[in-house]
Amino acid sequence: MSEMTFPLPDVGEGLTEAEIVSWQVAPGDAVALNQVICEIETAKSLVELPSPFVGTVTELLAEVGATVPVGEAILRVEVVGDDAPETSGNRAAAPPRDTAETRDAVTDATASVEHEEPGPSAAEEPGGAVLVGYGTGGSAASRRRRGGEPLLAVPGHAAIPVAEAAPILAKPPIRKLAKDLGVDLAQVAGTGIAGEVLRDDVVRQASQASLFRNLSTPEPSAAREERIPLKGIRKLTAKAMVESAFEAPHVSVFTDVDATRTMEFVKRLKASTDFAGVKVSPLLIFAKAMLWAIRRNPEVNSTFTETEIIRHHFVNLGIAAATPRGLVVPNIKDAQELSLLELAGAIEQLTITARDGRTQPAEMSGGTVTISNIGVFGMDFGTPILNPGECAIMAMGTIREKPWVVDGEVRPRMVTTVGGSFDHRIVDGDVISRFVADVASVLEEPALLLD
């Protein structure tokens, strides 16, 4: 046996340092290849680091909360055998491979037993990708659910907590969705046959929890003030917003829209068997309207540099997401290539990953245009700040029933406000106005998407 050290790797985009959020192992613990050993927080995301060793932990070299430079040793392990990986000594671990397989492997490696389907794990698949490029090992060790609740194994179904097995009727995908959205199934009233909990029941419960979770009144603090270190997502956001606000001349345009037909369209999609199991919301139609309007006004999908304007012929569609760690803007790569169904699935996965705090740096890089859906917070409208490097950010307010003049008569209609901010160095008022008008026209008549 020999003792090896594990230096903090660069997990992407030239990382220089990261904070140790939690340790998943302790001195004396046996570790397997690719077993998660700790969580680190970079300026953009929360990342789980897998072990490049098989052996026994002898020492943790960094405390929780400590900020560690890339390349500095954070763990010491007594390894088994003579085949030590190249991460020993002062060699930094290889950066992660930025592929869909990598993100899937990480998801599989960190998912609870409740999420697993029968079949081989990611670590058992030949040539499967892992976070820091250590290669794959043998069979993954069995994992138990956090919190130690006993699990009930049902043939052909995902394992579920015994406490939930009898009284709650919900299929494995619905249980997974509930867990991802932080919904307690015991609190959900099922509307399916025999009280079965359906997808819409879970989404409705999650929306209510999201809307009212900030309404509780905390006890007043005994301290006169609190000092919060500026780091991580908040530090990055502050820097980016100042740069964007003072470097790019913002111009904002917005308009009210009769979105009644959009709401009817959403209702029809929810009832369609093609969209069964996929979340459908007005945000989906808004995103598709954005892509349609960009095709008609390509100037807004551009980046300004000191020497040229780069017009992108692809759309990496960013969706601003409020998470427990702060604002993140992951983007859907090549969104212009996706069908409405594919776009719905991509938005849902992006949202779930962001809420779980697992958005990775690669998922937040390379965006070309952004959506800010402030309507989910009950707001009518706001003036968003551009994501640095982008020319446009669109926002949609909440959709409310309001009086609206139709054919000379005042009628109740579902009305929202849409608009956004634009980089005036790239686009002028005529282009901005046409673009916003195009987005609004699709919300008023979704049939335009057939064009």
Residue 93, φ and ψ in degrees, nearest 5: -65, 150
The residue type found at 256 is D
Task: Report which DSSP code applies to 378.
Answer: T
Q: Are 289 and 449 in contact (CB under 8 A)?
A: yes
Q: Are 77 and 4 in contact (CB under 8 A)?
A: yes
Name which of 327, 352, 341, 366 is nearest 103 in CA terms: 352
Q: Helices marked H in 139-274 — which ranges? A: 162-165, 172-180, 199-212, 232-247, 260-271
The yes-or-no answer on residue 312 being catalytic is: no
Instruction: Please name the residues in contact with 268: beta carbons below 8 A apart, sequence gap of 6 or more.
Output: none
Residue 36, φ and ψ in degrees, nearest 5: -65, 125
Name which of 47, 46, 53, 50 is nearest 36 in CA terms: 50
The residue type found at 340 is L
Catalytic residue among 115, 250, 312, 424: 424
Q: If DSSP states are collapsed to H, E and C, what string results for 36-77? A: EEEEEECCCCEEEEECCCCEEEEEECCCCCCEEECCCEEEEE
- Catalytic residues, which ones? 424
